[in-house]
Amino acid sequence: MIGGTLSSILDDLPIGMTTLSESRTITEGDLALMNTLIWATDEPPSTASGVSESYIPDRLLTGPGLIAVAVGLSRTSRVFQVVGSVTSMHLLITCSVAATYREPVHLGDTLTVETSLAGATLHPELDNVGTLLFHENAHKHSGSPVVEIQRRILFDRVAGGEPWDLNTCWSAVRRLRTDAAAPANPTIFS
Protein backbone atom coordinates (compact mmCIF):
# COMPACT_ATOMS: atom_id res chain seq x y z
CA MET A 1 0.00 0.00 0.00
CA ILE A 2 3.05 2.28 0.20
CA GLY A 3 2.60 3.55 -3.34
CA GLY A 4 -1.14 4.31 -3.02
CA THR A 5 -2.76 7.70 -2.64
CA LEU A 6 -3.81 8.84 0.79
CA SER A 7 -7.51 8.66 -0.05
CA SER A 8 -7.12 5.05 -1.26
CA ILE A 9 -5.36 4.20 2.00
CA LEU A 10 -8.29 5.64 3.94
CA ASP A 11 -10.57 3.42 1.86
CA ASP A 12 -8.52 0.41 2.99
CA LEU A 13 -8.85 1.23 6.69
CA PRO A 14 -11.08 -1.14 8.66
CA ILE A 15 -13.63 1.52 9.67
CA GLY A 16 -16.02 -0.10 12.13
CA MET A 17 -13.57 -2.80 13.21
CA THR A 18 -13.94 -3.53 16.93
CA THR A 19 -11.60 -5.66 19.02
CA LEU A 20 -10.87 -6.31 22.69
CA SER A 21 -7.67 -5.44 24.48
CA GLU A 22 -5.74 -7.56 26.88
CA SER A 23 -7.08 -7.50 30.45
CA ARG A 24 -5.36 -5.84 33.38
CA THR A 25 -6.04 -6.08 37.09
CA ILE A 26 -5.52 -2.77 38.88
CA THR A 27 -2.82 -3.16 41.53
CA GLU A 28 -1.58 -1.03 44.42
CA GLY A 29 1.31 0.04 42.20
CA ASP A 30 -1.06 1.21 39.44
CA LEU A 31 -3.07 3.27 41.91
CA ALA A 32 0.00 4.78 43.54
CA LEU A 33 1.60 5.68 40.21
CA MET A 34 -1.49 7.12 38.55
CA ASN A 35 -2.66 9.07 41.59
CA THR A 36 0.85 10.48 42.03
CA LEU A 37 1.17 11.46 38.37
CA ILE A 38 -2.16 13.30 38.36
CA TRP A 39 -1.56 14.88 41.76
CA ALA A 40 -4.63 13.31 43.35
CA THR A 41 -4.18 14.90 46.76
CA ASP A 42 -7.78 15.53 47.78
CA GLU A 43 -8.44 15.68 51.48
CA PRO A 44 -10.36 12.71 52.83
CA PRO A 45 -13.94 13.56 53.80
CA SER A 46 -14.46 15.00 57.25
CA THR A 47 -18.19 14.44 57.55
CA ALA A 48 -20.06 11.29 58.46
CA SER A 49 -21.84 11.31 55.10
CA GLY A 50 -18.49 11.59 53.29
CA VAL A 51 -17.05 8.67 55.22
CA SER A 52 -20.15 6.57 54.57
CA GLU A 53 -19.57 6.99 50.81
CA SER A 54 -16.28 5.08 51.26
CA TYR A 55 -14.26 7.75 49.50
CA ILE A 56 -10.64 6.66 49.68
CA PRO A 57 -8.73 8.57 46.98
CA ASP A 58 -5.67 6.32 46.98
CA ARG A 59 -7.88 3.25 46.41
CA LEU A 60 -9.77 4.59 43.38
CA LEU A 61 -8.60 5.02 39.81
CA THR A 62 -10.37 8.08 38.40
CA GLY A 63 -10.12 10.88 35.85
CA PRO A 64 -6.92 11.20 33.85
CA GLY A 65 -5.44 8.12 35.53
CA LEU A 66 -8.34 5.97 34.35
CA ILE A 67 -8.07 7.40 30.83
CA ALA A 68 -4.33 6.64 30.77
CA VAL A 69 -4.91 3.01 31.77
CA ALA A 70 -7.78 2.59 29.28
CA VAL A 71 -5.79 4.12 26.41
CA GLY A 72 -2.78 1.99 27.27
CA LEU A 73 -4.91 -1.14 27.23
CA SER A 74 -6.54 -0.02 23.99
CA ARG A 75 -3.13 -0.05 22.29
CA THR A 76 -3.00 -3.83 22.85
CA SER A 77 -6.10 -4.35 20.69
CA ARG A 78 -5.82 -5.65 17.16
CA VAL A 79 -7.29 -2.45 15.67
CA PHE A 80 -3.95 -0.62 16.00
CA GLN A 81 -2.03 -3.54 14.49
CA VAL A 82 -4.35 -3.64 11.48
CA VAL A 83 -4.13 0.13 10.94
CA GLY A 84 -0.34 -0.13 10.96
CA SER A 85 -0.28 -3.09 8.60
CA VAL A 86 -2.45 -1.60 5.82
CA THR A 87 -1.03 1.93 5.75
CA SER A 88 2.17 3.86 6.01
CA MET A 89 0.57 6.25 8.50
CA HIS A 90 2.33 7.48 11.58
CA LEU A 91 0.04 8.15 14.54
CA LEU A 92 1.48 11.33 15.98
CA ILE A 93 -0.49 13.00 18.76
CA THR A 94 -3.95 12.93 20.29
CA CYS A 95 -5.89 15.99 19.10
CA SER A 96 -8.92 15.61 21.33
CA VAL A 97 -10.29 13.39 24.06
CA ALA A 98 -13.87 13.21 25.27
CA ALA A 99 -14.62 10.88 28.17
CA THR A 100 -17.76 9.84 29.97
CA TYR A 101 -17.19 8.20 33.35
CA ARG A 102 -19.65 5.47 34.27
CA GLU A 103 -18.39 3.73 37.41
CA PRO A 104 -15.36 4.00 39.71
CA VAL A 105 -12.48 1.56 39.42
CA HIS A 106 -11.21 0.06 42.68
CA LEU A 107 -8.09 -1.81 43.68
CA GLY A 108 -8.37 -5.36 42.32
CA ASP A 109 -10.81 -4.56 39.49
CA THR A 110 -9.85 -6.13 36.16
CA LEU A 111 -10.37 -3.98 33.06
CA THR A 112 -10.70 -4.74 29.36
CA VAL A 113 -11.13 -2.15 26.62
CA GLU A 114 -13.24 -2.55 23.49
CA THR A 115 -11.65 -0.41 20.76
CA SER A 116 -13.31 0.64 17.49
CA LEU A 117 -11.92 2.59 14.57
CA ALA A 118 -14.93 4.85 14.03
CA GLY A 119 -13.72 7.12 11.25
CA ALA A 120 -10.91 8.72 9.28
CA THR A 121 -10.74 12.24 7.88
CA LEU A 122 -8.26 14.04 5.66
CA HIS A 123 -7.27 17.63 6.30
CA PRO A 124 -8.82 19.73 3.52
CA GLU A 125 -5.69 21.80 2.91
CA LEU A 126 -2.66 19.79 4.02
CA ASP A 127 -1.26 16.85 2.09
CA ASN A 128 -0.85 13.56 3.91
CA VAL A 129 -2.39 14.82 7.17
CA GLY A 130 -5.64 13.80 8.83
CA THR A 131 -7.17 12.24 11.90
CA LEU A 132 -8.43 8.85 12.93
CA LEU A 133 -11.39 8.63 15.33
CA PHE A 134 -11.28 5.86 17.91
CA HIS A 135 -14.04 4.86 20.35
CA GLU A 136 -12.79 3.05 23.44
CA ASN A 137 -15.10 1.52 26.03
CA ALA A 138 -13.45 0.20 29.19
CA HIS A 139 -15.35 -2.23 31.34
CA LYS A 140 -14.81 -4.47 34.33
CA HIS A 141 -14.82 -8.25 34.05
CA SER A 142 -18.35 -8.13 35.46
CA GLY A 143 -19.32 -6.28 32.27
CA SER A 144 -20.11 -2.97 33.95
CA PRO A 145 -18.78 0.01 31.96
CA VAL A 146 -16.28 2.33 33.65
CA VAL A 147 -15.37 4.89 30.98
CA GLU A 148 -16.25 5.66 27.37
CA ILE A 149 -13.59 7.55 25.41
CA GLN A 150 -13.60 9.18 21.99
CA ARG A 151 -10.14 10.14 20.72
CA ARG A 152 -9.01 11.85 17.54
CA ILE A 153 -5.41 11.02 16.69
CA LEU A 154 -3.42 13.08 14.20
CA PHE A 155 -1.66 11.09 11.52
CA ASP A 156 0.87 11.97 8.85
CA ARG A 157 1.82 9.80 5.93
CA VAL A 158 5.37 10.18 4.72
CA ALA A 159 5.57 9.89 0.95
CA GLY A 160 7.04 6.59 -0.17
CA GLY A 161 6.66 5.05 3.25
CA GLU A 162 9.79 6.65 4.67
CA PRO A 163 10.56 5.67 8.26
CA TRP A 164 9.09 7.82 10.97
CA ASP A 165 11.24 10.03 13.15
CA LEU A 166 10.60 12.78 15.66
CA ASN A 167 11.10 15.46 13.00
CA THR A 168 8.20 13.96 11.02
CA CYS A 169 5.87 14.43 13.98
CA TRP A 170 6.90 18.01 14.62
CA SER A 171 6.76 18.79 10.90
CA ALA A 172 3.10 17.76 10.79
CA VAL A 173 2.31 19.74 13.95
CA ARG A 174 4.09 22.83 12.59
CA ARG A 175 2.19 22.54 9.29
CA LEU A 176 -1.08 22.53 11.23
CA ARG A 177 -0.06 25.49 13.38
CA THR A 178 1.14 27.60 10.46
CA ASP A 179 -1.95 26.88 8.41
CA ALA A 180 -3.67 29.97 9.82
CA ALA A 181 -5.09 31.00 6.44
CA ALA A 182 -7.15 27.82 6.11
CA PRO A 183 -10.46 27.79 7.97
CA ALA A 184 -10.67 25.49 10.94
CA ASN A 185 -12.47 22.26 10.14
CA PRO A 186 -14.45 21.26 13.24
CA THR A 187 -15.10 17.77 11.86
CA ILE A 188 -11.37 17.08 11.97
CA PHE A 189 -9.97 18.97 14.93
CA SER A 190 -12.69 19.49 17.49
**64 within 8 A of 30, measured Cβ to Cβ:** no
Per-residue pLDDT tens digits of the chain, which is 190 residues long: 333 455 566 777 889 999 999 999 999 888 888 877 776 555 444 444 444 454 455 577 778 888 989 999 998 988 888 887 766 677 878 888 999 999 889 889 999 999 999 998 887 777 778 889 999 999 999 999 999 999 998 887 765 555 555 565 566 666 655 544 444 443 333 3
Class of domain 6-40+57-177: alpha beta
Note whether 111 and 24 are within 8 A (CB): yes
Q: How many CB atoms lie within 10 A of CB 168?
A: 16
- This prediction has a pTM of 0.72
Contact 163, 95 (CB under 8 A): no
Closest CA to 79 of 111, 118, 110: 118
Q: Could you tell me the residue ranges of all domains in the chain?
A: 6-40+57-177
- As a whole number of angstroms, the distance between CA 100 and CA 149 comes to 7
